[in-house]
Copies of this chain bind each other. A is one copy, B any other.
Amino acid sequence: MKEFIKVMKALSDPSRVSIVKMLGRKVMCVCELQNALGLAQSTVSKHLKILEEAGLIEFYKEGLWVNYRLADGSDSPYAASLLGHLKHWLEDDAGVQGLMARLPDINREEICSKGRALAS
């Protein structure tokens, strides 16, 4: 039951659902997700942790970068099932569509570090 509730809670927040939808399109790092969602970096990190603990996403490190992607579903049958559905669910949601349209322009090389320093 706990495992199931974890997945349900993880997907009870619109920002976290948006994260899952975006990671369904491409691997992203925290600052890319931060830029896409328009939330504080710490908030994004917190959301990612919740999704990870629910077995919905996983990460791998590449030097400085922590890359996040959808989990393969081997940790939780509930997560696997919901991820399967979410591949085609919410495709016509306006908020999700807006994010997806921006995805091609969100690149860490342009928005992290130097890029951000220039922006602020």
Residues on A facing B (Cβ under 8 Å): 1, 4-5, 8-9, 11-14, 17, 77-78, 81, 85, 89-90, 93, 95-96
Interface pairs (12), CB distance under 8 Å? A1-B14, A1-B17, A1-B93, A1-B96, A4-B17, A5-B11, A5-B12, A5-B17, A8-B8, A8-B9, A8-B17, A77-B89
List the B residue with the shortest CB-CB distance to A13.
B5
Kindly list chain B residues whose C-beta atoms are within 8 Å of the C-beta of A93: 1
Kindly list chain B residues whose C-beta atoms are within 8 Å of the C-beta of A81: 85
Kindly list chain B residues whose C-beta atoms are within 8 Å of the C-beta of A4: 11, 17, 89-90
| Closest-CB distance, A73 to chain B (whole angstroms) | 14
| Closest-CB distance, A27 to chain B (whole angstroms) | 23
